[in-house]
Each structure stands twice: as structure tokens, then as C-alpha cells.
Structure 1
Amino acid sequence: MTTVLIVILSFVLYLVAYHTYGRYLARRVFRIDPDAQTPACMIDDGVDFVPSKRSLVFGHHFTSIAGTGPIVGPAIAVVWGWVPALVWVLVGSIMMGAVHDFGSLVISMRHRGRTIADLSGSVVNPRVRMLFMIVVVIGLWIVLAIFGLVIATIFKLYPTSVIPVFAQIPIAIGLGFWLRRGGSMLIGSLVAVGLMYATIWWSSGLEIEGKHGIFYPVMLDYLSEIGWWTLILMIYVFIASVLPVHVLLQPRDFINSWQLIIAMGLLVLGVLVARPPIVADAVRMVPEVSVNGNPAPPMLPFLFITIACGAVSGFHCLVSSGCSSRQLKTEGDAQYVGFGAMLTEGFLATLVIVACIAGIGMGTLDGEAAWLRYYQQWGGDAGLGAKLTPFIQGSANMIGSIGISEHFAITLMGVFVASFAATTLDSATRLQRYVIAELAVGHESTHKAGPIRSLIANRYGATTVAVVSGFLLAISDAPVRGLENAGLGGLTLWPIFGATNQLLAALALLVVTVWLVKSKKPAWVSAVPMVFMLGITSYAIVLLAKGFADSSNALLLGISVLMLVLEIWIVIEAAGLVFSKKAEEKVSE
């Protein structure tokens, strides 16, 4: 199968799925009512609940859920062959991920924009709410650490991406101000995107020498370069996440959504022009042992937790229920945002796979030699840089086939990855703030919760807890590697991120399933993916726990065991409710 055929058929499949299965879910399962009042219109506090145009919400939603998940995951997973990775992305995104995102968005909109974790207390029982909250806190904790490390790694590997990424901040603030003053969205978008690409063009033409200057943080002792970048990013994300959502997050994510469309368009055009041959193995059940002597994990179950974003991702339920449900003006936009954004992410993951299995063979090393350089051995423990490089280089090779210079293409893709990771970092911090505040005071008012709990529940206190804990996890390898190398082993967090993320997806699907059962609506659409995700995630967590025990990694072992216990507990609680409900129905008959 040629790369051109893969891209065209994938696009057609997603288009058909949106207009068939998506429409079925909207009309027959969730019964969307365009006239129903949404939480954004009911509350409209100007901070988190803001009625917005669906294009703005789509941009914010998509860039928040995408991040680098659909890039790093597929870039690792193709080591098991391109066929399993592609099949999982196509099937998973349509039958599981889109249902998960759409369902989480709808039930949150029907309950005043409450988060899926908070809703589990009403849908199942209060104990499940507390257990779900713990899973969410741990999941977001890992997201903050790993996405901070991803951006820091990009800044280190591709320093020309630094200025364009930070230049997006004033550009986005200016766009937001323009739109709030009633300015034309078309004119504002054209100017903002034009300025963004001007910074990329300017930065790509600069020669980067040495390790000082505006491209790098101040070089101090005691911490690695990646560690300093991560610290700077955490300071930035603290500021960004306490601002009203329409000041920075919405306009910057809207700009990034245009960046995504343009980048994906360039990649598709590159594939159509270059028609690069596939240089990767179709299926490889057991990759070679890594240079560090670590054996590759088995394809089953690790393929399904390595590719999370792009197929199905629990983080999406938090964005759907914690952010996007509070911004939609009408339920009629829910399919476009919830279902459509997930399919778009699936198509992005498809392009990532093509870049890694074909585009990588168009550079200095061509054909199979390029593939073997990155994928001959298991490299899941080789660091984030080793996994980001195949995508960025492969994408730049394909874009270069249409006449764009290599320097510009590499800078463009570096900015693309870092910008998307930054939007996820922003949204994850804001979501973690919500959850920490909910855990601190529950449904009490802050003045009744006591001074310490009120301080933690405060917008600034909760955000401080979120960013400090995320930074400490990001440099948690310091006791072994030393502070001067802290963060360099960031990819060791990816398996536990994937497992926790997929567990969160399974639990969100469980809440959606129980809600559908109680509402007497077709529950199979979420029940089938729920059962699959619960089984595959449990298997993966058990294997991960064994590996962490063998390597004496007490922190990740503790997280794995806790996740497994919480999963079993929540499933038992939910199963008891569903079966008791069915028993009551039989008695009433």
C-alpha cells in the first residue's frame, strides 16, 4: 500500500465516519437539542464559562487534546510495524476515542459543565467521585511533567523554535483583544497567522552558535538545560492558567488550530508530490533489544497504551467536560467539537505514522538505512529527543519536496510540536486547578472550609500546587542522574502516562455507559470500548508494575499499584449500581 493511498483512504474514512456514525450518536444516542440552554449561557462568568463561536471552541479544544500525544505515541509505536499502529489509530479514533470525547462533552453540558470526575458522584456514587478525582489528579500530574519535558526537549534540540513559540503569546493576546472589540475574525486570523509565520521564517534563518543568548535560558549550575527550560515553562503556565480563558488560551489555541491545518496541509501535499515509499516493516512483533540491554515490551498490550492520543485518550474527557462544555453556545456544536476534533486528531496521527515510516527515508540517510537508524532496536528508553527526531525530520523531508527549505521546514515542525504541547500544558494546569479546588473544599463554600483548605482551593493556591508538583515529577530522576542531568530520562514517564491516560479513558467510558443505562439510551456504543480499555489497561499496568519492581523504581511502582487498586474499586462500585438497576427493573415488571 502506498503512502498516498494511506492518506487519501484515511481522510475519506474519517469524513464518512463523521457523517454516519457521528450523526447516529448525535441523533439516536445523545439526542442533541440545539435549542437547549448550555452552561456557558446559563452561568457566563467571563472567566471559565464563556459562550463562544464554535470555530474558537474547536480550535481551543483540538489544540488542547492534541498536544504531542498523537506525535510521540505513534513515533514510538511504529517500532512494532506500521500496520498495527495504523489500524489502531483508525479503528480506535472512530469507535472509541470519538465516542469517549463526544459522550463526555454532552453529559457535562447536561449537568452545568461539571467535570466528568465530579459527575461520577451523581451518576454512580460519592465514593466513585473521590476515587475518580484521585485518578484525575495523578493523570494530570503526569501530563504536566511529560509535556513540560517535551517542550523543553524541543527547545534544546531545535533552538530556532524558541522565539516563534514565545512570540505567539503577544500575538494571541492582541488577537483576543481585537475579537472582543468586535473586529473581523477573518482579518484578525490572517494577521495573527501571518505574524506567526514571519517569526518562524526570521528565526529559521538565524545561525545558532553556542549555548547562550535569547535562544536559551540563563545557563546556571545545579540543573540541566532541560530542567531550566521546564522550570521557565512552569512559571509561564502558572500565569497563563490563572488568566481568563478568553485572554490567552482561546486566541492562542485558535492560532494553533490554523497552524495545524496549514502543517497538515503541507504534509499531505508533500506526500502527494514526493510519494515516498514505505521503508518500515509492516509488522514486527519483537523488536531487537535496545543498546542499554532492555528488551522491547510486547506489542500486546503496549501498542494500545503507547498510542493514546490519536486513538483514545482519557485526558480528552477532562478537556471536554472541564473546558469545552463551558464554552459552547449551543448543543448543536457538540458533534463538531467533540466528535470532529477526535477524528481530526486521528488523521494527524496517521500523518505522523507516514512521516516516520516513509518521510524519514528521504533525507541524508535514505530508504531502509534511515528507518534502521531509529527503529532497528527498541528505543523507548533512549529519551524524548530520539523519538521526536524521526517525526520532525521525516516531516521536514516531505515538506521539502514542495520547494520549502530544510531549515524553515525543521523550524516549522519544531514550533508545531512545541506549540501543541504548550496548549496541552496550559489546559492541563487549568484542569488540575479545578480538581485540586474540588478536592480541597468539595461542594462547600470556601469561607466554610477553613484557612488552609481555602488557600489551596484559591485560584492561585491550587495552581501553585499543580505546577510545583509537576516540576518535581519532571526532575524526579535527579536522585539517580543528578540535578545536572535532571529530566533527560523523561521518556521513562511515557508508559505510565499511557497506562494512566487509558485508565482514565476507560473510567470516563464507564461513567458515560452508566449514564446511558440510567437514561435508557443505547449504551453499547460506550460499553464495548469500555470493556476493551479496562482489560487492555489492567494487563498493561500489571506488566508495568512488574517492570518497575524489577528496576526498583519505587515512585512509578507505587503509582502503578495505586492505579490498579482504584480501577478495580471503581469498576466494582459501578457494576453493583448497574446490576441493582437491572434487578429493580425486573421487579417492577
Structure 2
Amino acid sequence: MGSLVLMIIGLAMFAAGYLIYSKYLAKRVFKLSSSFQTPAHELKDGVDYVPTNKFILWGHHFTSVAGAAPIVGPAIAVIWGWGPAFLWVTLGTVFFAGMHDLGTLWASLRNKGKSIGALSGRYIGKRGANLFLIVIFLLLLMVIAAFAVVIKNLLISTPTSVIPTWGAIVVALLVGVAVYRMRWPLIPVTVVGVVVLYALIVLGDAVPVVLPESFLGMTPATFWILALFIYGAIASLLPVWVLLQPRDYINGVQLFVGLILLFGSVLIATLFTANKPEIVAPMFNTDLPAGTPSLVPLLFVTIACGAISGFHGMVSSGTSSKQIDKETDARFVGYFGAVGEGLLSLGTILAVIGGIQSVGAWEEIYSEFGAGGVEAFVQGGGALMENGLGLPASLSATVLATMAVLFAATTMDTGMRLLRYVVQEIGQTMKLRITKIPATLIVVVVGLGLTFSQGLGGEGGLRIWPLFGTTNQLLASLSLSIIAVMLMRKRRNPWPAIIPLVLVFVLSFWAAIEQLFSFTAAGNQDWLLFAIDVVIIIASVWVAVEAVMAMRRAMQDPPEPENEDAELVAEREAV
């Protein structure tokens, strides 16, 4: 099978998912209403709660959820063969991720924009809510620390991406002023912004920025990590319209253009060149390198973002729900945001199985489990674009490396804003009032502490990353349990949430148990990861039991009124 056929099948599945299944969810399950007053209007403050054009908000949501993980996960998982990775990405996006992302967005909208962690207290129970917050805190800490290291590595290994990476911030600030202060039309601002971004990519390719071995008394690795944390802290404190919305929107458009270039390269190379991008990887790999874990359950946690991801629920309920203009916009922002990430994962699969030119080269890259990753995506995708579009190899690599950096950077600073919310929520449970700046300082100190815990090169940033996949998927299943409880309370069909809930929880819990044993294996003992994994397993089981009890209560209690704010229902019940 050629890359073009696989691409067409994948695109057709995503299109069917959005045009058919998401419409069913929006109209029949969640019953989105354009007359419902969203938190962005009810609690409008010009900082976090801001009614936003759905296209701009989609850009924020898409680029926030689509960090480096939908590139790294599929680029590693194809070691089991492209067939399992392709099926999990496509089916997972359509039936799992789309439901989860739209559902968490709807749940937050119906609860005054509260985060999924806060909603756990209302729908699951206060006993499980604190444990839920622990899982969320650990996951966000993994994201900001690991993504800082990923970005640092790309800025050092691909110095041509430095200028477009930091130049994108200036472009975003100007776009925000043009749209929100000068009221310029969105389309011409978008066109100019994207053109400038791609001009920065060309400039970066011509003028690579390589820092000296000692820069301001620091190594390049230390400097880039500190710069990223400082930027993330400032970005997380600014009103969303100043930087977060315009940066994510313009990045989203630019990155979508990058995906079009990648998919277009496959089409053009197949139809119009002699060097057709044939798939060199096996559909099912029966000759796995020694030490490769079993396909089931590890595939389903190796590919998290790009199929289903608990982090998406935090973005949906943490920032996106506070900016929805009309509730009906949630389908486009939430479900199509998941489709956007699925497209990135599909593009990654095509790059690493069809862009690499020979079976021997592919087997050399995938000589051990964990190989591949962003570097394989840049290498394979760059070869596709050079072959299909005739772009120089260096420029192609710069385009893809910049894509990866911008995805990771937008996820990192959104993660810092979300972690600040979590710190404030934890403070509330302890009867402490923690304002934005102290909460942000706590996030920065803890994040840098983890990142530099094993050296100033940032080695500690990936210290607890092996737990990301299982933690992320367990969180997704727990978020789906909240959606199921809400649907049951309203006497709506809960099965679109329950089916992925059960499958994801079983597979991710299975993976967490397997990892628990691997952390105690002779010669590979890691007691820190063992302890954290135990905490995550206990918290997940506890919350799952609480969720089952909550579902039973939901079916026994009187049904909630349709199209009513859940907060009003709760207040009436309390009275």
C-alpha cells in the first residue's frame, strides 16, 4: 500500500467523524444551544473570560492540545508496525478524542467554566476530588518540564528554528492589537500574519542562531530552559487576548498550512514524480528489537495525544470554555480541535513510514524501543517535502522543526496557566487564598526544580516522563466519567462516553501495573517512578470507585432540567 492511499483513508475517516458523528454528539447527546449564556459572557473579565471568535479560539485550542506528544507518540509507536498506529490514531480520534474533548468543553460550559478538577468534586465527590487534583498536578508538571527540554533540544539541534520560534511571539502580539484594539478584519490580518511567519522561517533557514558554549555565564541548554520558563510565566499571566489567543490562532493557521504542505507532498510525489513515497515500514512488525514491550497495552499509552488525551480535557475546561462565544461553537472548537491533532499524528505516521527512503534506513532508526520521535518526523517529513515540493532539505527541516517547536511552546505555556489554576484550586481546598502571581511563582519554581534536578542541561525534565502516557490516559477516563455522570443526570445517552471510558481505563490501568513491575526490575530499578506510579494507581482506583458510585446515584436521583446551568441546579438542590 502506498502512502497516498493510507492518507486518503485517514482523511476520509476524519471527515466522516466531524461531519456525521460530531453532529450527532452536538445535537442528540450534548444538545448544544445557541441561546445558552456561556461563562465568557456571564463572567466576562477581559483577562480569562473573553468571548472569542470560534476560529481564533480553535487556533488556541488546537495548538494548545497538539504539543510534541502527537508527533513523539506515533513516531515511536510505529515500531510495532504502521497498522496498529494508524488504526488507533484514526478510530481513537473519531470515537474517543472527539467525544472527550467536546464533552469536557460542554461540561465546563454548564458549570461556569470550572476546570475538570473542580468538576470532580461536584460530580464524583469531594473524597475523590483531591486525589483527582494530584493526578492533574503531576500530569501538568510532566508536560511543562518535558516540553521545555524538547524545545531546548530542537533549538540547539536545529538552530534555523530559533528566529521563527521567537519571532512568532512578536507577530502574535501585533495580531492581538490589530484584531482586538484596532478592530481590523480577521482574514487580511491572518494572511499577513502567516506570510510574515513563513518569511521568518526562510530568514531562520538563512541565519541559524547558534549560541556559544558559554552564554551569559550559562550553557545554551540552561539558557534556553530559563528563557522558556520566563516566557511561559509571563504569557500565563497576560490577558488571553494579548498573547495566548492571537499566538495560538496564528500558529494554528501556520501549522495547518504546514500539514497541507506535508500531505500535498505525498500527493504530488505520488502522482508526478518517479520517486514515489512507498511505505517501507511493515504493517505489523514481527521482528521487534529486544526489550520492546508488548503491543497491548503499551500502544494505547504510547500514542496518547493524537488518539485521546486527558490533557485535552484540562485545556477544554481550563482555558477554552472561558472563551466560547456561543455554546454551539463547542463542536467546532472541541471536536475539530481533536481532528486537527489527529491530522498531525497521521502526518507523522506518513513521514516516518514513507518519508524514510529504504527498509534498511527505517530498521536502523527503529533498532530499539523509544527510538524515532521528533527527529524521525523531521527527517522523514523533510524528505517528503523535498521530493514532492522541491523544497531544499534544510528549509524543509526548518519548517517541520518550527512546527514542532511552536506546538510544544503553545502547549507549555498553556500548561503553565492551567497548573497555576490547579495550584489555586489546591489552595482553596486547604483554605488558602493563593493569587495569580504567587501561584505562577510556585509553578515556575517546582517546574525548574524538576527540570534541573539531574543537571543544568535539563535532564530531569524527562525524569518522570515515562509515566506521562498512563497518567494522561487515566485522567482521560476519569474525565469521561464526569461526562457520563452529567449525561445520566439529564437522562441522555451516556454510552458514547461510557464505552471509551471503560476501554481507556482498563488499558491504561493495565499499562500502569506493567510499568510498576518494570520500575523494580533488576538492573532497571527506579524507586521514585515506582512511588509516583503507586500514587497514581491508588488515586485512579479511588476516583474510579467514586465515579461508579456517582453513576448509580445519578440514575436514582430525579433528572436535571434541560438546557440549564448546572450551578443553578446545584444551588437549588442545596436550598
Cα separation, 2, equivalents of 1:127 and 1:359: 50
| Alpha-carbon distance change, 531 to 469 in structure 1, aligned in 2, over 3 angstroms | same
SS of the equivalent of 2:328 reads helix
Residues 393-442 of structure 1 show CA distances to partners (whole Å, capped at 9, x for unaligned) of 11111111212111111111111100110000011000001110011024
Matching residue within 483, 504, 518 for 2:475 = 504
Cα separation, 1, equivalents of 2:374 and 2:407: 13
Amino acid in the other structure paired with 1:515: M
SS of the equivalent of 1:111 reads coil
Amino acid in the other structure paired with 1:460: I
Question: How does the TM-score come out when normalised to structure 1?
Answer: 0.90
What corresponds to 2:114 in structure 1? 114
Residues 106-144 of structure 1 show CA distances to partners (whole Å, capped at 9, x for unaligned) of 011011101111011111211222121111111101111
SS of the equivalent of 1:161 reads helix
CA contact (8 A) 1:217 1:229 kept: no
What corresponds to 2:356 in structure 1? 360
What corresponds to 2:197 in structure 1? 196
Amino acid in the other structure paired with 2:365: Y
SS of the equivalent of 1:331 reads coil
- 2:542 matched to 1:569? yes
Cα separation, 2, equivalents of 1:285 and 1:138: 35
Cα separation, 2, equivalents of 1:186 and 1:62: 19
Superposition map of 1:442-481 within 5 A: 442=429, 449=431, 453-454=432-433, 457-476=434-453, 478=454
Superposition map of 1:298-377 within 5 A: 298-361=294-357, 367-375=358-366, 377=367
CA contact (8 A) 2:378 2:400 kept: yes
Residue 583 of structure 1, CA deviation: 5.5
Amino acid in the other structure paired with 1:196: L
What corresponds to 2:508 in structure 1? 537
Residue 211 of structure 1, CA deviation: 4.4
CA contact (8 A) 2:481 2:498 kept: yes
Superposition map of 1:40-439 within 5 A: 40-180=40-180, 181-206=182-207, 211-212=211-212, 218=215, 220=217, 225-275=220-270, 276-284=277-285, 287-289=288-290, 295-361=291-357, 367-375=358-366, 377-380=367-370, 387-401=373-387, 402-439=389-426
Residue 228 of structure 1, CA deviation: 3.4
Residues 288-329 of structure 1 show CA distances to partners (whole Å, capped at 9, x for unaligned) of 12xxxxx12211111100100100000000010111111011
Residues 235-284 of structure 1 show CA distances to partners (whole Å, capped at 9, x for unaligned) of 11111111111101110111111111210110111101223000111112
| Alpha-carbon distance change, 157 to 219 in structure 1, aligned in 2, over 3 angstroms | farther
SS of the equivalent of 2:519 reads helix
Residues 355-413 of structure 1 show CA distances to partners (whole Å, capped at 9, x for unaligned) of 0001122xxxxx112201211x2241x6xxx5211100111111112121111111111
What corresponds to 1:292 in structure 2? none
CA contact (8 A) 1:59 1:257 kept: yes
| Alpha-carbon distance change, 490 to 348 in structure 1, aligned in 2, over 3 angstroms | same
Amino acid in the other structure paired with 2:443: A
Residue 18 of structure 1, CA deviation: 1.0
Cα separation, 1, equivalents of 2:105 and 2:156: 36
Cα separation, 1, equivalents of 2:43 and 2:456: 48
Cα separation, 2, equivalents of 1:287 and 1:220: 45
Cα separation, 2, equivalents of 1:437 and 1:217: 38
| Alpha-carbon distance change, 515 to 581 in structure 1, aligned in 2, over 3 angstroms | closer
Residue 553 of structure 1, CA deviation: 1.6
Amino acid in the other structure paired with 1:373: E
Cα separation, 2, equivalents of 1:217 and 1:32: 56
CA contact (8 A) 1:100 1:526 kept: yes
CA contact (8 A) 2:89 2:345 kept: yes
Cα separation, 1, equivalents of 2:448 and 2:102: 31
Amino acid in the other structure paired with 1:197: Y
| Alpha-carbon distance change, 581 to 424 in structure 1, aligned in 2, over 3 angstroms | closer
Question: How does the TM-score come out when normalised to structure 2?
Answer: 0.92
RMSD value over aligned CA atoms? 1.9
Cα separation, 2, equivalents of 1:217 and 1:417: 26
Runs of 4+ in 1 over 6 A off after TM superposition: none
| Alpha-carbon distance change, 268 to 423 in structure 1, aligned in 2, over 3 angstroms | same
Residues 527-585 of structure 1 show CA distances to partners (whole Å, capped at 9, x for unaligned) of 01000111111111111111122323222111111000001101111212323444668
The alignment-based identity, stated in percent, is 37
CA contact (8 A) 2:66 2:411 kept: yes
Amino acid in the other structure paired with 1:283: F
SS of the equivalent of 1:120 reads helix
Residues 459-502 of structure 1 show CA distances to partners (whole Å, capped at 9, x for unaligned) of 111111112212222233x1xxxx26542x76564431111111
Aligned residues: 549
CA contact (8 A) 1:286 1:298 kept: no
Note the residue ranges of structure 2 that are not aligned, 5 or more in a row. Answer: 271-276, 559-575
Residues 137-193 of structure 1 show CA distances to partners (whole Å, capped at 9, x for unaligned) of 111011111111110111111011111101111111111001112112122112211
Superposition map of 1:4-23 within 5 A: 4-23=4-23
- 2:519 matched to 1:519? no
Note the residue ranges of structure 1 that are not aligned, 5 or more in a row. Answer: 290-294, 362-366
Amino acid in the other structure paired with 1:170: V
CA contact (8 A) 2:450 2:461 kept: no
